[in-house]
């Protein structure tokens, strides 16, 4: 089965009224854990690769790891997604590398830290959409900014998404998915109280979905520290109102780190790295499997046949940006 596009996977998720987990990966063990979790619960899955991950592992290593995953699990729709592209050229490189989905985060300038203005966001995102759709590749944009810093990315400021501006943004850019800011945060972030409608602006999700019923929304900063962040308040409720892609990164990092520390402490004389990385891989798998079930994606991997990039390019050609 070829790698799937974000557009098709989220379109199918909308039909089935479920969400799809998007898990960040930096190495082989993370990829294996994520994919084996998807196989175990029978769910489509999105594997996200950040610029930091590409720098750490190497572009070709990451590309071939995901290709190997698709060959190992042909029954699972797998999206290879660039997380937080900082400028159009980064997205173009990812498309050339074989990514089936890219995120152009024009909410920040190319330094990945300074909030941009709206006109800049529209322009850079529109350019990426035009180039990506010509190749059948999907595009995620972002409107508003999240708190926190993750993998060196983020302004640390929170600017909630304006629903009316979201309508204009989608119309002008043609994005397949829109990351919205409702009060979540990147990184190891803890709320001072259990997240509620007062802490998370869930009403924005409902308003945007009413105005843009055919646009898939993305929830960033969905790792839970503690785990109650990914519960009904931001998963089930959000999914009912158009959230189809839910990003999970920090939870996997925490689980892997805990497993590694436990293995090292339990066997101080062990020097075979496989003895440590096996439990780390299993920890990543458990996180991914739990989230995929929470989001309702379990059992939906076989609902459809994955379309190739040329087939998706034909589909996009029939509905160009601004049409």
Residue 306 DSSP symbol: P
Tell me if residue 260 falls in helix, strand or coil: helix
Mark whether 164 is an active-site residue. Answer: no
Closest C-alpha to 221, from 139, 289, 150, 288:
150
Alpha-carbon span 38 to 75, nearest angstrom: 10
Q: Which residues pair with 142 in a beta bridge?
A: 179
Cross-strand bridge partners of residue 78: 45
- The CA-based angle 28-32-37, given to 5 degrees, is 155
Of 11, 83, 151, 303, which one is the catalytic site residue?
83
Could you tell me which of 166, 176, 169 has the C-alpha nearest to residue 137? 176
> b vs e for 106-125, b when ≥16 Cβ sit within 10 Å of the residue's Cβ?
bbbbbebeeebeeeebbebb
Residue 236: enclosing H or E segment and its boundaries?
A: helix 236-240
SS (H, E, C) 112-180: CCCECCHHHHHHHHHHHHHHHHHCCCEEEEEECECECCECCECCCCCECCCHHHHHHHHHHHCCCEEEE
Q: What DSSP string runs through 17-56?
A: T--EEEEE--SHHHHHHHHHHHHHHT--EEEEEEHHHHHH
- Residue 265 makes CB contacts below 8 A (sequence gap 6+) with none
* Whole-angstrom distance, CA of residue 133 vs CA of residue 118: 22
Catalytically annotated residues: 83
């Amino acid at each position: 089965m070829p790698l799937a596009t974000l557009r098709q996977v989220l379109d199918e998720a909308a039909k089935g009224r479920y969400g799809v987990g998007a898990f960040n990966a930096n190495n082989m063990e993370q990829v294996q854990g994520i994919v084996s979790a998807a196989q175990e619960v029978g769910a489509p899955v999105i594997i996200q690769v950040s610029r930091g991950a590409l720098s750490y592992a190497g572009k070709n290593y990451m590309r071939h790891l995901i290709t190997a995953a698709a060959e190992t699990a042909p029954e699972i729709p797998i999206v290879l997604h660039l997380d937080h592209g900082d400028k159009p050229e980064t997205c173009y490189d990812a498309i050339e590398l074989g990514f089936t989905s890219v995120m152009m985060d024009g909410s920040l300038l190319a330094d990945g830290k300074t909030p941009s203005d709206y006109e800049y966001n529209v322009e850079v995102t529109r350019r990426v959409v035009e180039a990506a759709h010509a190749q059948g590749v999907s595009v995620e944009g972002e409107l508003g900014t999240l708190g926190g810093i993750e993998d060196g990315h983020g302004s640390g400021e929170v600017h909630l998404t304006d629903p009316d501006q979201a309508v204009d943004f989608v119309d002008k850019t043609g994005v397949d998915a829109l990351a919205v800011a409702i009060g979540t945060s990147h990184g190891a972030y803890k709320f001072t109280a259990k997240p509620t409608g007062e802490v998370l602006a869930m009403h924005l999700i409902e308003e945007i979905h009413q105005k843009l019923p055919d646009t898939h929304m993305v929830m960033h900063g969905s790792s839970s520290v503690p785990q109650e962040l990914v519960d009904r308040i931001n998963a089930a409720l959000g999914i009912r109102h158009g959230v189809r892609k839910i990003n999970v990164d920090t939870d996997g990092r925490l689980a892997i780190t805990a497993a590694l520390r436990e293995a090292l402490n339990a066997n101080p004389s062990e020097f075979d790295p496989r003895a440590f990385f096996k439990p780390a891989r299993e920890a990543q798998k458990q996180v991914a499997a739990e989230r995929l079930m929470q989001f309702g994606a379990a059992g939906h991997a076989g609902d459809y046949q994955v379309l190739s990039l040329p087939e998706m390019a034909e589909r996009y050609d029939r509905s160009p940006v601004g049409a």
